[in-house]
């Protein structure tokens, strides 16, 4: 467990960022010349308390604990490894395709092949870079399905997407090694595991042998019980420590930096306050040195804030969460509403460049 953590803050974009980076009053984020940060928060675990201090980037070299943060600072400013032909200078949209009868938002809506392919076409037309296909609901309280049933739900649709859109990237949302293996055999490009390879001990070997990128999603517990009073000493730092330990294990066992994407797991074993804390300070995870995905789309924390439990009415809250994350340099966004999210990001990014 670390004692000191560093979080970039006060982000600048466009020509302003380039100017401040050149002047030395800002540091580059992820190797970009048009995204920078002017200051950092230093977070410290000390016994039962957590201390937060803020410094400008100019002050970093004068700190008496600068050696303790140097490695993490280098990770924040270093260029991220590319994924296929995707360019992290622009937001990457991951479109949700649930081929399930019971997903929390759109269960049953696209679990026929015709409706699924029609929805995929719309998402691609509106700007989805990756289609994330899932055959098992992992909403709170969901019951697991068998490997056979999960494969049966996704197999035909994945093959049709590959046939109809051969250049389209497909991610398979599963926590089971046999489902992963089948998906890879029919052309899946990436894997997205809500358990970060913890649920099925064989899944890590599939990722290692295939060389496929893996989205490591943090969760506490399993869907059946993950919302039963989730607890963290400090949700941000505990998740950071989890990822740091997980990544160290994976790298020591043959998985490469180029394969790893992290997702702090909004809604997976988190309360409303936990989710708000993660999104409001999500830039902490840049100091792990990997691309970051966030998936706030239509999640229940939005409904709790709005006093509206119907997930179809959570678009505004979803977009607000995406934009706030984008303002902190997050690169990937997993959402249901591709058109609206794409339009919001395009407009918002133009403001930031001025």
The tens digit of pLDDT for each residue in 219-257 reads 998 888 888 889 999 999 999 999 999 999 999 999 999
Give the tens place of pLDDT for each residue, 248-296. Answer: 999 999 999 999 999 999 999 999 999 999 999 999 999 999 999 999 9
**Closest to 132 (Cα-Cα) out of 147, 102, 110, 114:** 110
CA distance 132 to 152: 16
> What pLDDT is recorded for position 332?
98
The domains of the chain are located at 4-64, 92-352
* DSSP letters for 176-203: -HHHHHHHHHTT--EEEETTTT-S-TTH
The residue written with tokens 């294990």 in the block is 249
Spatial neighbors of 21 by CB under 8 A, at least 6 apart, are 27, 28, 33, 36
* Percent of the chain with pLDDT strictly greater than 90: 81
Q: Is the pLDDT of residue 122 over 90?
A: yes
% of the chain beyond a pLDDT of 70: 95
Residue 212 falls in the annotated catalytic set: no
Q: Which fold has domain 92-352?
A: TIM Barrel (3.20.20)
pLDDT for the residue 221: 85
Place of tokens 């004068």: 62
Residue 219: left (phi > 0), alpha (psi -120 to 50), or beta? beta
Q: Which of 204, 193, 199 is nearest to 132 (CA)?
A: 193
Three-state DSSP class for residue 327:
coil
pLDDT of residue 103: 45
Residue among 27, 334, 353, 354 flagged as catalytic: 334
**Amino acid 109: pLDDT:** 58
CA–CA gap between residue 182 and residue 188 (Å, rounded): 9
Provide the pLDDT for residue 115: 85
What is the per-residue pLDDT for 110? 58
Residue 197 φ/ψ, nearest 5 degrees: 70, 15
pLDDT tens for residues 295-332? 999 999 999 998 876 677 899 999 999 999 999 999 99
Q: Which residues are 217's β-sheet partners?
A: 263
Locate tokens 């099925």: which residue?
200
CB atoms inside a 10 Å sphere around CB 59: 12
On average, the pLDDT of the chain sits at 93
139, 299, 314, 354: the catalytic one is 299
Q: What is the pLDDT of residue 146?
A: 95
Sign of the CA dihedral with 228 first, then 234, 236, and 237 last: negative
Q: Is pLDDT at 143 greater than 70 in this prediction?
A: yes
Q: How many residues does the chain have?
A: 354
Q: Residue 175 — pLDDT band, cuts 50, 70, 90?
A: very high
Catalytic residue check, 299: yes
């Amino acid at each position: 467990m670390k004692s000191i953590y560093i979080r970039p803050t006060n982000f600048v974009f466009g020509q302003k960022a380039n100017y401040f980076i050149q002047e030395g009053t800002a540091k580059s984020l992820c190797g970009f010349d048009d995204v920078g940060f002017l200051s950092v928060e230093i977070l410290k675990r000390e016994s039962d308390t957590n201390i937060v201090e803020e410094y400008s980037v100019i002050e970093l070299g004068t700190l008496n604990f600068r050696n303790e943060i140097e490695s993490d600072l280098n990770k924040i400013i270093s260029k991220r490894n590319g994924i296929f032909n995707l360019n992290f200078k622009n937001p990457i949209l991951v479109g949700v395709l649930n081929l399930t009868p019971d997903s929390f938002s759109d269960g049953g809506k696209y679990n026929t092949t015709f409706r699924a392919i029609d929805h995929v076409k719309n998402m691609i037309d509106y700007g989805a870079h990756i289609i994330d296909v899932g055959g098992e609901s992992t909403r709170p309280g969901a019951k697991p399905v068998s490997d056979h049933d999960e494969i049966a739900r996704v197999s035909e649709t994945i093959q049709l997407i590959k046939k109809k859109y051969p250049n389209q990237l497909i991610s398979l949302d599963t926590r089971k090694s046999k489902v992963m293996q089948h998906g890879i055999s029919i052309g899946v490009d990436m894997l997205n595991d809500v358990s970060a390879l913890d649920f099925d001990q064989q899944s890590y070997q599939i990722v290692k042998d295939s060389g496929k990128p893996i989205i490591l999603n943090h969760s506490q517990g399993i869907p059946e019980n993950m919302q039963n009073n989730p607890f963290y000493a400090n949700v941000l730092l505990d998740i950071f420590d989890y990822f740091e330990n997980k990544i160290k294990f994976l790298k020591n066992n043959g998985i490469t930096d180029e394969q790893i994407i992290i997702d702090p797991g909004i809604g997976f074993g988190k309360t409303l306050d936990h989710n708000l804390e993660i999104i409001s300070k999500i830039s902490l995870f840049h100091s792990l040195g990997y691309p970051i995905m966030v998936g706030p789309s239509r999640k229940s924390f939005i409904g709790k804030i709005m006093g509206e439990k119907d997930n179809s009415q959570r678009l505004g809250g979803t977009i607000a969460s995406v934009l706030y994350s984008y303002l902190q340099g997050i690169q990937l966004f997993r959402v249901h509403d591709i058109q609206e999210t794409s339009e919001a990001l395009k407009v918002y990014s133009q403001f930031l460049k001025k």
